[in-house]
Amino acid sequence: MTDFQAPEKPLRDEESATSVLIVTGPTAGGKSGLALELAERLGGWIINADSMQVYRDLRVLTARPDAVDEVRVPHRLFGVLGAEERCSVGRWLDMAVAEIGAARAANCLPILVGGTGMYLKALTEGLAPVPDVPAAVTAEATALYDTLGGVAFAVVLAEHDPGAAEALPPGDRQRLIRAYAVVQATGRTLADWQNEAPTGPAVAGQFTTVLVLPPRDALYAACDARFTAMLDAGAMDEVRALLARGLDPSLPALRAVGVRELGAVIQGEMTLDQAADKARQATRNYAKRQLTWFRHQLAPDLILDRGGALAAADALAVLRN
């Protein structure tokens, strides 16, 4: 806990009622600790903007807030879906808009926390106007993929959407099916639709974005340490329970970093040390991709070189100016 005195509101009085604070950054950078401290000081609700922390089955491997943190301030959209479900950008956006409205109705500051760039982009800029695809078309595309397999399906997709067929790996079942279904239903590729102007911010008001961007060496060390802590906290048992459900391996929750690696240990295909090394490398690779996205897609109001509770004073000093 820091020893500074927090302001009553994070932004200017005329803006405070419609403010939305975004705390983002790469995995293991300390954004959750910073957001928690800000939420306590500012009377905020923390709303999840991480595509994996929506799943209840993987609290440890997705670094969801623990029970102690969840009672300090309200937490929303953490662990709200089962691993058998898929959370698209649009589905998350609908839930996030509802939670922002609820926070405002309670006279609390909505604080969006997470590193899923597409979620934040959809919130602040809106979604491209891709039409709904009839369920029958999606079912037909799914059946075709399951019959042909990923490689042959990509060949068929290339006849209609060569860009998607080239960009997506054969094992990316969900996005390949989506690309095929969109072009079949609309006559236009998904990229064509996505290149249209987005609909605009999903909620009215002022967005203020804080980007936690530690030095790369420190960030990678934190990624490595985090996975070690996950193993100590029971990640192996968590993966064992998830795999025992026999779910479709293409589901998003089963693609979380660590699931495949620890699953290989459970199946006797590699040692725990080998799996841990691979998972640490995968975590660092993910952090690197996030850094690239933030560099090219985000225009933050404030960049901090550290996260955690101790960075809250720096954030508040700027947010009040």
Residue 2: the pLDDT is 32
User: How much is the pTM?
Assistant: 0.84
Q: Is the four-CA dihedral 115, 121, 123, 129 of positive or negative sign?
A: negative
Domain regions of the chain by residue span? 13-127+199-319, 135-194
Give the model confidence (pLDDT) of 92-132 as tens digits.
999 999 999 999 999 999 999 999 999 999 999 998 787 78
**What rounded mean pLDDT belongs to the chain?**
91
**Strands 19-24, 109-113: parallel, antiparallel or unpaired by DSSP?**
parallel
- Percent of the chain's residues with pLDDT above 70: 94
Whether 314 shows a pLDDT value over 90: the answer reads: no
* Residue 46 bridge partners (DSSP): 75, 111
Under DSSP, the state recorded for 252 is G
Q: How far apart are CA 159 and CA 148, in angstroms?
A: 15
Residue 104: the pLDDT is 95
Residue 135: the pLDDT is 87
Residue 10: the pLDDT is 44
Six-digit token pair at 194? 């996505």
Residue 149: the pLDDT is 94
More confident: 159 or 250: 159
Cβ-based neighbours of 187, under 8 Å, separated by 6 or more: none
Give the model confidence (pLDDT) of 147-202 as tens digits.
999 999 999 999 999 999 998 989 888 889 999 999 999 999 998 988 887 778 99
What is the CATH architecture assignment of 135-194?
A: Orthogonal Bundle (1.10)
For 102, 115, 123, the CA distances from 47, given in Å and listed in that order, are: 11, 12, 12
| Cβ contact 49:96 at 8 Å | yes
Residue 9: the pLDDT is 42
Q: Is the four-CA dihedral 138, 62, 44, 123 of positive or negative sign?
A: negative
Residue 207 DSSP SS3: strand
Measuring CA to CA, which residue among 204, 184, 193 is closest to residue 15? 204
Residue 111: the pLDDT is 97
Same fold, 13-127+199-319 and 135-194: no
Residue 110: the pLDDT is 97
What is the CATH architecture assignment of 13-127+199-319?
A: 3-Layer(aba) Sandwich (3.40)
Q: How far apart are CA 21 and CA 36, in angstroms?
A: 12
- Averaged pLDDT, 59-82: 95
- Averaged pLDDT, 240-257: 93
Under DSSP, the state recorded for 131 is P
Measuring CA to CA, which residue among 49, 87, 36 is closest to residue 298? 49
- Burial annotation 66-92 (CB, 10 A radius, 16+ → b, else e): eeebeeebbbbbbbbbebeeebeeeeb
Q: How far apart are CA 213 and CA 288, in angstroms?
A: 11
Whether 284 shows a pLDDT value over 50: the answer reads: yes
- Averaged pLDDT, 15-34: 88
Measuring CA to CA, which residue among 127, 128, 134 is closest to residue 186? 134
